[in-house]
Structure 1
Amino acid sequence: MPNFYSDYWWIFLLRGLFALILGILAIFMPGATFTTLVVFLGAYLFIAGVFAIAGALAARKTSENWGIFLLSGVVGIILGVLTLINPFATGNALIYLVAFWAMIAGLFEMIIAIRLRKLITGEGWYIAGGLLTIFFGIVLISNPVAAAITLTWIFGFYAVVTGIMLISLSVRLRRR
Structure 2
Amino acid sequence: MNYPLVKTIRESVKYWWLSLVLGVFYILLALWVFSTPLASYLALSVIFSLFMLVSGLMEIIFAVSNRKHLDGWGWFLTAGILDFAFGFLLMSYPGLSMAILPLFVAFWLMFKGISAIATSLDLKSYGVKQWGWILLLGIVVVLFSFLIIARPVIGGLSIVYTTGVCLLFAGIFRIALSLKLKSLHDLISKRK
Q: What band does the TM-score fall into relative to the shorter chain?
A: 0.5 to 0.7
Match of 2:8 in 1: 2
Distance in 2 of aligned mates of 1:97 and 1:175: 34
Match of 1:52 in 2: 59
- Is the 8 Å Cα contact of residues 95 and 147 (structure 1) preserved in structure 2? no
Match of 2:180 in 1: 172
Match of 1:14 in 2: 21
Match of 1:122 in 2: none
Pick one of 86, 89, 95 that aligns with 1:82: 89
Distance in 1 of aligned mates of 2:62 and 2:161: 30
Structure 1 unpaired stretches of 5+: 100-132
Distance in 2 of aligned mates of 1:33 and 1:71: 28
Deviation at 1:18, TM superposition (A): 0.8
Deviation at 1:83, TM superposition (A): 0.9
Deviation at 1:12, TM superposition (A): 0.9
> How many percent identity over aligned positions?
25
Pick one of 150, 163, 172 that aligns with 2:171: 163
Deviation at 1:5, TM superposition (A): 5.0
CA 1:96–1:66 in 2, change beyond 3 Å: closer, same or farther? closer
Distance in 2 of aligned mates of 1:34 and 1:68: 30
- Is the 8 Å Cα contact of residues 33 and 40 (structure 2) preserved in structure 1? no
- Is the 8 Å Cα contact of residues 8 and 70 (structure 2) preserved in structure 1? no
TM-score, scaled relative to structure 2 = 0.62
RMSD of aligned residue pairs (Cα, Å) = 2.5
Match of 2:74 in 1: 67
Structure 2 unpaired stretches of 5+: 1-6, 107-146, 185-192
Deviation at 1:35, TM superposition (A): 2.8
- Residue deviations 1:84-107, cap 9 Å, x none? 1222212211346789xxxxxxxx
Match of 1:120 in 2: none
- Please say which structure displays the higher CA radius of gyration: 1
TM-score, scaled relative to structure 1 = 0.67
- Is the 8 Å Cα contact of residues 35 and 87 (structure 1) preserved in structure 2? no
Distance in 2 of aligned mates of 1:98 and 1:67: 22
CA 1:5–1:27 in 2, change beyond 3 Å: closer, same or farther? farther
